[in-house]
């Protein structure tokens, strides 16, 4: 009897052990994982009932089924569902609106996503999740209208535009161009109005600017700015490199720049300096001068520019320079400033005050102060022998800021005077002309204010 009872007890213990082992195995097995699927709807809380909803569902044991539906106050509208014979670890879905969804009158709806994984947990039914997202419905496009703008824009030149942009869920306002540049508009005068200077680069044969306004729901309005375009021919200079220039100025510059260290060929030194070093220097300039304030302005005052008294123009803006040696093309570049010269180390006194955003050495440009005059308009002063201002200072009209010189890539004492709009070099001649400033700046602002005040 004892033997029989002993065997029975051992059998019971063995069976219990098997059951416990099976439970432990099942509890720790990936087949019985207990994590619910992960669901994510890529959305900022708005929907225009036009763009598809992007949904991602994932699970380690695999997704076996999902269902997406739209819930209003009165009905549930199925949007998408799927069952998988072979469970998917990751499922990416683009759910289009139901054909009747655009008739929805509610201000908000719910998107409900249900998903089940392939786990054997929950009595082989898998882990389930039900996730709700509340979306605000916005089917209305932003209201955009151009109020006033410069009549024309010249290749290499500038223009001004004032426009209205309204939407209760406004997200982004920009002015997009045909050449890839996006200009930022600054709030102007009263709520809902914006102003921006624009620039047509000398290197671009055509110009087109469009106000693009987008709301949080993805509704977009595009409005073309009606400029009359005036093309302009700029000088092309064919410059023959001489040995004295290469062994003199270029050899001197090559010692300064890390890009030319170890390069022994004078022609290669010149090419690197004229292209690589120049590109690096201009990137710094463009980065600094691309910034625009987001604060509202009510007016914009700018005086005619002529920073060097009794100066002569020694090199024009927009000059396309082609360099050759022994009838072989070596390199090329654009001269994107106006070179002015009077006497050695002449005082530079700009007619407009502003914030000094840079005053340091910048490669080919030498000692180079840059002043921010507001509305994305900057002036640059290159090749200075010395500068009497520092970054962060505020300068006044006619303040002595620097002296002319030949620092950087300069063969003689002069000032390289640059004017930039949001990182694009423009013709200084326009900003040195009272008539142009009145017609393209003051008259445009005056006209826009009159329209705004009537509304």
Query: Would 341 be classed as within a structural domain?
Result: yes
What's the structural domain count of the chain?
4
Question: Of 86, 108, 137, which residue is a domain's last?
Answer: 137
The side-by-side arrangement of strands in the sheet containing 236-240 is 236-240, 319-325, 328-335
Predicted pLDDT of residue 21: 52
C-beta neighbour count of 9 within 10 angstroms: 10
11 pLDDT band (50/70/90 cuts)? low
**What's the CATH code of the domain at 216?**
2.60.40.10
Q: Is the pLDDT of residue 18 over 80?
A: no
**3 state SS of 320:** strand
Q: Is residue 54 part of a domain?
A: yes
Task: Please state, for a pLDDT cut of 90, what percent of the chain lies above it.
Answer: 87
Alpha helices in 290-383 (DSSP H): none
Asked, for residue 373, whether it belongs to a domain, the answer is yes
Task: Summarize pLDDT for 134-163 with one digit per residue, the tens.
Answer: 999 999 999 999 999 999 999 999 999 999
Q: What is the CATH number of the domain that holds 365?
A: 2.70.70.10
Predicted confidence (pLDDT) per residue in 289-320, tens digit: 999 999 999 999 999 999 999 999 999 999 99
Whether 226 and 280 map to the same domain: the answer is: no
110 vs 21, higher pLDDT: 110
Whether 309 is in a domain gets the answer: yes
Identify whether residues 150 and 132 lie together within a single domain: no
Whether residues 69 and 22 share a domain: the answer is no
Query: Does the residue 436 lie in any domain?
Result: no
Q: Are residues 261 and 359 in the same domain?
A: yes
Distance CA 409, CA 315 (A): 14
Domain that holds residue 215: 143-232
For residues 230-243, average pLDDT: 96
pLDDT score, position 391: 96
Residues 365 and 223 both lie in one domain: no
- 226 and 271 share one domain: no
Residue-wise pLDDT for 386-405, tens only, equals 999 999 999 999 999 999 99
Mean pLDDT of the chain: 93
As a whole number of angstroms, the distance between CA 390 and CA 335 comes to: 26
Of the pLDDT bands very low, low, confident and very high (cuts 50, 70, 90), residue 248 is very high
> Do 299 and 204 have their domain in common?
no
Q: Is the pTM of this model over 0.85?
A: yes
User: What is the per-residue pLDDT across 329-346, written as a single tens digit (0 to 9) for each?
Assistant: 999 999 999 999 999 999
183 and 120 in a common domain: no
Cβ(116)–Cβ(63) below 8 Å: yes
Q: Do 74 and 22 fall into the same domain?
A: no
- Of 177, 176, 173, 170, residue with least CA distance to 185: 173
pLDDT at 105 (0 to 100): 86
Q: Using the 3D structure, point to which of 232, 264, 287 is the last residue of a domain.
A: 232
* Residues 62, 48 within the same domain: yes
Give the residue-averaged pLDDT of 251-271.
95
CATH number at residue 112: 2.60.40.1930
Cα–Cα distances (Å) from 190 to 163, 268, 451, in that order, read: 11, 56, 12
Q: Is 109 found in the same domain as 75?
A: yes
Judging by DSSP bridges, how do beta strands 46-47 and 236-240 pair with one another? unpaired
> Is 437 inside a domain boundary?
no
Do 20 and 64 share a domain, yes or no?
no
Q: Count CB neighbours of 100 within 10 A.
A: 10
- The residue among 232, 249, 276 that closes a domain is 232
- The string of pLDDT tens digits covering residues 66-85 is 999 999 988 899 999 999 99
């Amino acid at each position: 009897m004892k033997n029989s009872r002993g065997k029975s007890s051992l059998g019971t213990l063995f069976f219990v052990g098997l059951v416990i082992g099976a439970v432990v195995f099942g509890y720790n097995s990936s087949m019985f994982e207990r994590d619910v699927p992960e669901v994510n709807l890529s959305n900022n809380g708005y929907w225009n009932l036009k763009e598809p909803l992007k949904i991602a569902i994932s699970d380690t044991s695999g997704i076996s089924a999902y269902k997406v539906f739209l819930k209003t106050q009165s009905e549930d509208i199925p949007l998408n569902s799927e069952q998988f014979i072979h469970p998917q670890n990751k499922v990416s879905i683009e759910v289009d609106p139901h054909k009747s969804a655009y008739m929805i009158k509610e201000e908000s709806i719910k998107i409900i996503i249900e998903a089940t994984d392939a786990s054997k947990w929950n009595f082989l039914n898998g882990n389930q999740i039900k996730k709700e997202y509340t979306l605000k419905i916005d089917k209305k496009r932003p209201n955009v209208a151009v109020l006033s703008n410069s009549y024309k824009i010249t290749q290499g030149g500038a223009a001004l535009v004032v426009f209205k942009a309204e939407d209760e869920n406004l997200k982004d306002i920009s002015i997009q161009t045909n050449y890839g540049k996006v200009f930022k508009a600054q709030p102007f005068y009263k709520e809902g109005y914006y102003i921006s200077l624009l620039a047509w680069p000398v290197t671009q044969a055509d110009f087109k600017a469009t106000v693009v306004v987008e709301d949080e729901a993805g509704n977009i309005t595009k409005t073309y700015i009606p400029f009359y375009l005036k093309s302009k021919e700029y000088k092309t200079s064919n410059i023959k490199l001489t040995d004295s220039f290469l062994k003199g100025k270029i050899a001197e510059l090559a010692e300064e720049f890390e890009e030319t260290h170890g390069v022994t060929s004078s022609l290669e030194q010149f090419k690197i300096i004229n292209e690589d070093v120049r590109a690096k220097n201009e990137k710094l300039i463009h980065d600094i001068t691309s910034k625009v304030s987001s604060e509202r302005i009510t007016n914009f005052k700018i005086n005619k520019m002529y920073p060097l008294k009794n100066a002569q123009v020694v090199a024009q803006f927009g000059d396309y320079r082609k360099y050759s040696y022994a009838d072989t093309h070596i390199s090329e570049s654009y001269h994107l400033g106006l070179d002015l010269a009077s006497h050695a180390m002449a005082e530079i006194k700009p007619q407009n005050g502003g914030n000094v955003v840079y005053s340091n050495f910048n490669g080919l440009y030498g000692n180079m102060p840059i002043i921010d005059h507001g509305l994305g308009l900057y002036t640059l002063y290159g090749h200075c022998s010395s500068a009497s201002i520092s970054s962060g200072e505020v300068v006044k009209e006619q303040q002595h800021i620097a002296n002319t010189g030949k620092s950087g890539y300069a063969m003689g004492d002069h000032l390289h005077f640059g004017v930039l709009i949001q990182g694009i070099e423009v013709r200084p001649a326009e900003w040195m002309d009272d008539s142009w400033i009145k017609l393209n700046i003051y008259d445009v602002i005056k006209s826009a204010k009159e329209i705004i005040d009537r509304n």
